[in-house]
Amino acid sequence: MQQVIFLGPPGSGKGTQAARIAEILQIPHISTGDILRANVSRETPLGQQAKTYMDRGDLVPDQLVLDMVEERLKEPDAQKGWILDGFPRTVSQAEFVEEKLLDSDGSSSGGELQAINLDVPDDVLVERLLARGRQDDNEETIRRRLQVYREQTAPLIEFYSDRGQLHDVDGDRSMDEVTACLKKAIAPE
C-alpha cells in the first residue's frame, strides 16, 4: 500500500507532480481543497459545517478538515493507497494522520508512509508564481507567503525526517525530470 504525502511551497509543482505520480501508481491524488469543495457541493453534514466558515471568510477548523480527510481515506479507491497534497500542514495534523494509519493494536495498516518535500529556491518560486499572473500576486506578497509556508512547514519536515520517512527532491528541473526522480524515490524498481 502506497501512502505518500507531498510537501512543497506554493509554485513548487506539488499538485502537478502529485497528480502525475497518482496516475502512475493508480492511486487517488487527494487534495484537501478538492475534499472541501466536494463536501460543500454535495452538501454533506461536514460540508455544511465547512460552508458556514467559508461563507464568513474564515479558515475551516483543523478538526473539520481532519474529519473530511478521514472520511476520504475510507473510500474504496483509497484502500490500495493514496497521495495527500496540501495536508498535513502542521505537526498536530501529521500526528493525526500517523494515528489514523495505525491499527488499534499499534501496527501499521499496511504500507510505509513516505513524505516528499519538493525543494525549489525562493527566487525560482517567485518567478513561477509571478508568471501565473494572479492579480493579488506581487513579489512582496509571494515572498511573504513563502516565509509563512517555511515557518509552518519546517517542523513538519523535521517530523518526517526524524522518522526516516522524508525524501527531499529537487523541484528546480523539468517536469519530466522531477517525475522520474519521484518515481525512483517512491516506487524503486
Active site residues: 14, 89, 132, 134, 145
Distance in Å from the first CA to the final CA of the chain: 15
Could you tell me the CA-to-CA distances from 17 to 22, 83, 89, 134 in Å, in that order?
A: 8, 10, 18, 21
Residue 101: exposure state from Cβ atoms within 10 A (0-12, 13-18, ≥19):
middle
